[in-house]
Structure 1
Amino acid sequence: MLTPEDVLNVQFAPTKFRDGYDQDAVDDFLDRVVATLRAAQTGVPAAAPVTAADVEAVRFSSTRFREGYDQEQVDALLDRVRESLRHGSAVSDAPPATPATFDAPPPPAPATTPGLIEPPRGWLQRLLGR
């Protein structure tokens, strides 16, 4: 199973004098992949989840004579992401499930413990509400 940390820890070899993928475009898409994988772990829906179809359809602009990411390495990671999404270890192409609801916290404990006698208060303490 592919985890968000797996995607975050990937380092692609830079390219300069051969074709590579635009680094900003790849980074932006992988940010969405990380959010999708985290949503699958936590159960909290992602704002713009990535599906296996999105991974297949994504196209990055090429770079030449400026630094980019190695295309084969990016494609290999995208293959792993697509397979992970297809096999249900993350979100599927189905609409997101409703988020979990939580019960309200229990009421606070009473200020005094039942059965104990309060110490006597003088008129000044009663007047000031202490």
Structure 2
Amino acid sequence: MSPEDVRDITFSLALMSKNAYDEAEVDAFLDRIEATLRGEDSLTARDLREVAFTHPGLGRRGYTKDEVDKFLDQAAAALEAR
């Protein structure tokens, strides 16, 4: 996985906020993953597996949990393989 793969990832918006993660939190964490892959941060695979995001506020949509979780699992595996 390259830093560009992280930068270019897109997630669907969930229809219900209970099935979603706050977009800003996820985007900020993706920035850290990208920086880690560039050698500019120090996230570990464990950090990726243990991160917790909040739900978007009532009436707001966010990124679909399943898509984000699947990507984080792939990114964690990539960090372990380095």
Same fold (TM over 0.5): yes
2-side partners of 1:61 and 1:38: how far apart?
Answer: 27
Aligned position for 1:6? 5
2-side partners of 1:53 and 1:14: how far apart?
Answer: 26
Structure 1, unmatched stretches of 5+, are 40-45, 89-130
Residue deviations 1:24-64, cap 9 Å, x none?
Answer: 1101111000001112xxxxxx2x31111111110111235
SS at match of 1:62: coil
Q: Counterpart amino acid of 1:7?
A: V
Structure 2, unmatched stretches of 5+, are none
TM-score by length of 2: 0.88
Structure with more relative contact order (C-alpha pairs < 8 Å, separation 6 or more): 2
State percent identity of aligned pairs: 38
Q: Counterpart amino acid of 1:56?
A: R
Q: Is the 8 A contact 1:21 1:68 kept in 2?
A: yes
Aligned position for 1:23? 23
Q: In angstroms, what is the RMSD of aligned CA positions?
A: 1.3
SS at match of 2:38: helix
TM-score by length of 1: 0.57
* Structure 1 residue 67: Cα displacement: 1.5
Given candidates 48, 62, 65, the residue that maps to 1:55 is 48
- Count of aligned residue pairs for this structure pair: 80
Q: Is the 8 A contact 1:12 1:69 kept in 2?
A: yes
* Structure 1 residue 11: Cα displacement: 0.8
2-side partners of 1:49 and 1:32: how far apart?
Answer: 8
